[in-house]
Amino acid sequence: SSTEISFLISCPEKTAREERTHDNRWFNNNLKDLRDNLRLVSDLHDKYKNEPFKNLRRRFRVLYRVELKRAKVAYNDKLISESSNKSKTLLNIVNNKRNKNSNSFHNTLSPQKFNDYFVSIPLQIPNSLGNCTGDPAATFRRDIPSDAKLDFSEVTFNKVRDIAHNLNG
């Protein structure tokens, strides 16, 4: 019904993150404290939106990420060193990580349908342009403002180098 649709639009379903620290044997109390501090600083930044909290949040994020990596590496090193078959354990760790990060989806689109779609696009373009009687250039020019102008100037190698350097920060 329309009332139900209106309700669903105005009150969308919320999802909550489930904490799964119990599954991660490498997650320790130090990491938990760091995470809690990061959440506190993030909440303060979200509430007050000032530069000191922004910088503090950034530092806590970096610290938390570094400590997460250290804890994972230490845990995996311990697993490998205590294993009777170190190569197999190493491959299991790599494969577990690879499987968790893969973005797999079930594609039911056949290669033929994919190709047919892109082959049909050029055939549809003339229909989308409408009736093009007269000068084709005038048809495209109608969408360009009359005060639009192009200005060309020579660009030196040094200027390009400086721009690229500034982009890299």
Average pLDDT over residues 86-90: 89
**pLDDT tens-place string over residues 92-121:** 888 887 755 455 556 677 888 888 888 888
- pLDDT(147) > 70: yes
Instruction: Assess if residue 2 is contained within a domain.
Output: no
Which tokens belong to 88?
């197999």
Query: What's the number of domains the chain is made of?
Result: 1
Which tokens belong to 104?
């797999």
In angstroms, the CA 77 to CA 83 distance is 10
Tell me the average pLDDT of the chain. Answer: 80
In angstroms, the CA 28 to CA 25 distance is 8
The fraction of the chain above a pLDDT of 70, given in percent, is: 77
Q: Which helix (H) or strand (E) holds 139?
A: helix 136-141
pLDDT at 160: 84
30-34, 70-74, 115-119, 145-149: the lowest-pLDDT one: 145-149
- Name the amino acid, one letter, at 131: N
pLDDT at 112: 86
Position 122 confidence tier, pLDDT thresholds 50, 70, 90:
confident
Instruction: Assess if residue 31 is contained within a domain.
Output: yes
Position 31 confidence tier, pLDDT thresholds 50, 70, 90:
very high
pTM for this prediction? 0.46
Q: Determine contact, residues 67/34, Cβ cutoff 8 Å.
A: yes
Domain region containing 56: 26-100
Average pLDDT over residues 15-29: 69
